[in-house]
Amino acid sequence: MADWTLHVLIDPKQVPLDGVDNLCRALRDGGATVAQLRGKHSDGGELIRYGEAFRRATRDTGILFIVNDRVDIAMAVQADGVHVGQDDIPVEVVRRLAPNLIVGLSVGSEAELRVAERARPDYIGMGPVYPTPSKDDAGEALNVDGFRRLCLRAKRLAPVVAIGGIQPDNAKPVWESGADGIAVISAVMGAPDKRAACFALLASRG
Amino acid sequence: MADWTLHVLIDPKQVPLDGVDNLCRALRDGGATVAQLRGKHSDGGELIRYGEAFRRATRDTGILFIVNDRVDIAMAVQADGVHVGQDDIPVEVVRRLAPNLIVGLSVGSEAELRVAERARPDYIGMGPVYPTPSKDDAGEALNVDGFRRLCLRAKRLAPVVAIGGIQPDNAKPVWESGADGIAVISAVMGAPDKRAACFALLASRG
Ligand code: NI
C-alpha cells in the first residue's frame, strides 16, 4: 500500500542534478513519502537526466517517485507513477500506455471530480486549498470549507492529497478535513532545512 | 521507403480541431509528404485530441504523421514517428520506449552532427537554414553555404530535411545543396491557399 502522507514537488530548476541524492535523503529523513518531478519549463533531455537521478535516489531511500505530466519520461526512467492534470493526457490513455504506473489526477471542482469518477485514478491531487502563486495553471482556491466538502466525496473514490499553499502553520485544518496526504512545493523547497520543513508539516497533523 | 520531400509543421493553435481533415487534404493535394504536430504550448490533452485527428486524416491521405518531442503522444495516437531536438528525450531512449517509431533528430552544428552520428536517427532535420522568428529555440542561421557543408556530411548518415525560414522564393538553393526534403511552418500555414503554397515550394526544386 502506497503511503500518500507527504508529497514534495520538485522542479529541476530548484536543485542541481548532483544535489538530488542529498535532497532525497533530507526528504526521507523528514518523513516525506512521495517525490514528484514537475518540470513545466524543462526539455525532455533535462527531465530524463533528473528522472534517472530521482529514480536512483528514491529507490535508495524508499520514497515513491512520480513524474508530472510526461508519461514518456515516467516510462523511460521507470518511475512509480505519473501525475496528470485535467488538461493532460487522459487517465485511460495513460493506463493503455503504461498499465503498471500509479496514476494521480488533479481535481479542483465538482466537474473535475466527475471526470475522476469516470477515470478512476489511483489517487487524487485536490486543490488549490489555499491561494498560491506557484501553480500557474491552478484554479481558484477551494479554501478549507470547499476542500472539506469536495474531499469528503472524493475519498470514496481514491486517497486524496491536498495541494496549494499548504505550510506548517495552515496545514492542521487540511488534515482535519480528511486529507490522506498533503503536497507541497515552496513549504519544503523554499526552506533552507528541508528535513525540518517536512517534519514541521507532518507535526501539524497533531 | 518514406518520402521526406515536404514536411509541414503544424501547431494546434493554428487550426481548429475540426479543420484538420481539410488541412490534410490540402497538404496532400499540394504534394506534402509529412505532417508534423508541434505544439510547444499545448497540454497533453490537446495534443492527444489533435494527434488522433491527424492520425485519422493522414492515414486517409497517405501522408506520414510525426509528433514533435512528445514520445508519449506519438505512442498513444500511433503516429508514424517522433521528431526530437538535441535537448529532448535522447534518440536511444526513444528507441527503447517505442522501437517502431521513425525518429528524426534536429542538427544545427558540427557538434550536433556528432551527436547524430552516435544516435543514428532515421532522418535529420537540419537548420535553421535562414533566420526565422518561428522556431524560438533555434540557433543561428546556417545560411546556404553552411547548410551545404553540413548537409554533405550528414547525408552519409541519414536523409536530410532542411528547416528554417524556407519559402518558395529561397528554396531553390536549399534543394541544390543536397536536401532530401524541406520542412516549413509559415510558408504553408501562413498562406491562405495551403495547397498552392505546398505546390510552389515543390516547384522550386526545378
Ligand atoms: Ni513555455
**Whether pLDDT at B24 is above 80:** yes
Give the sign of the dihedral formed by CA B190, CA B196, CA B201, CA B204. negative
CA–CA min distance A93, chain B (Å): 7
Q: Beta strand B160-163 with B181-184: parallel, antiparallel or unpaired?
A: parallel
Cα–Cα nearest to A195, from A32, A62, A35: A32
For residue A47, list chain B residues with Cβ-Cβ distance below 8 A.
89
pLDDT at A139: 79
Cα gap B79→B98, rounded to integer Å: 11
Q: What is the chain B residue with the closest CA to A68?
A: B44
**Whether pLDDT at B18 is above 60:** yes
User: Mutation test of the interface with chain A: which of B38, B55, B84, B93, choosing the one with the most A Cβ atoms within 10 A?
Assistant: B93
The answer to whether B72 contacts A84, with C-beta atoms less than 8 Å apart, is: no
Cα(B40) to centroid(ligand 1), Å: 7
* Residue A177 marked ligand-binding: no
* Residue A204 marked ligand-binding: no
pLDDT at A138: 67
Average pLDDT over residues B60-76: 96
Domain parsing of chain A, residue ranges: 6-203
Cα gap A151→B94, rounded to integer Å: 39
Active-site position among A135, A177, A194, A204: A135
pLDDT at A132: 84
* Residue A68 marked ligand-binding: yes
Cα torsion at B193, B196, B200, B203 (round to 10°)? 170
Chains A & B: contacts with CB separation below 8 Å: 64
Pick the CATH number of A6-203 from 3.50.50.60, 3.20.20.70, 1.10.1060.10, 3.40.50.2030: 3.20.20.70
pLDDT digits (tens, 9 = 90+) for B129-187: 999 875 555 678 999 999 999 999 999 999 999 999 999 999 999 999 999 999 999 99
**A38 annotated active-site:** yes
Cα gap A81→A99, rounded to integer Å: 10
Cα gap B46→B48, rounded to integer Å: 5
Whether A171 contacts A204, CB under 8 Å: yes
Cα gap A71→B203, rounded to integer Å: 41
**B172 annotated active-site:** no
Please, which residues bridge with residue B104 across strands?
Answer: B83, B123
Instruction: Work out the angle between the directed axes of helices A44-61 and A20-30 (0-180°, nearest 10).
Output: 40
Cα–Cα nearest to B112, from B84, B74, B72, B81: B84
For residue B70, list chain A residues with Cβ-Cβ distance below 8 A.
70, 72
**Whether pLDDT at B43 is above 60:** yes
CA–CA min distance A47, chain B (Å): 8
pLDDT digits (tens), chain A, 206 positions: 689 999 999 999 999 999 999 999 999 999 999 999 999 999 999 999 999 999 999 998 889 999 999 999 999 999 999 999 999 999 999 999 999 999 999 999 999 999 999 999 999 999 999 998 755 556 799 999 999 999 999 999 999 999 999 999 999 999 999 999 999 999 999 999 999 999 999 999 97
pLDDT at B60: 83
CA–CA min distance B90, chain A (Å): 6
ipTM of the shown complex = 0.94
Cα(A167) to centroid(ligand 1), Å: 28
Cα(B186) to centroid(ligand 1), Å: 20
pLDDT digits (tens, 9 = 90+) for B93-125: 999 999 999 999 999 999 999 999 999 999 999
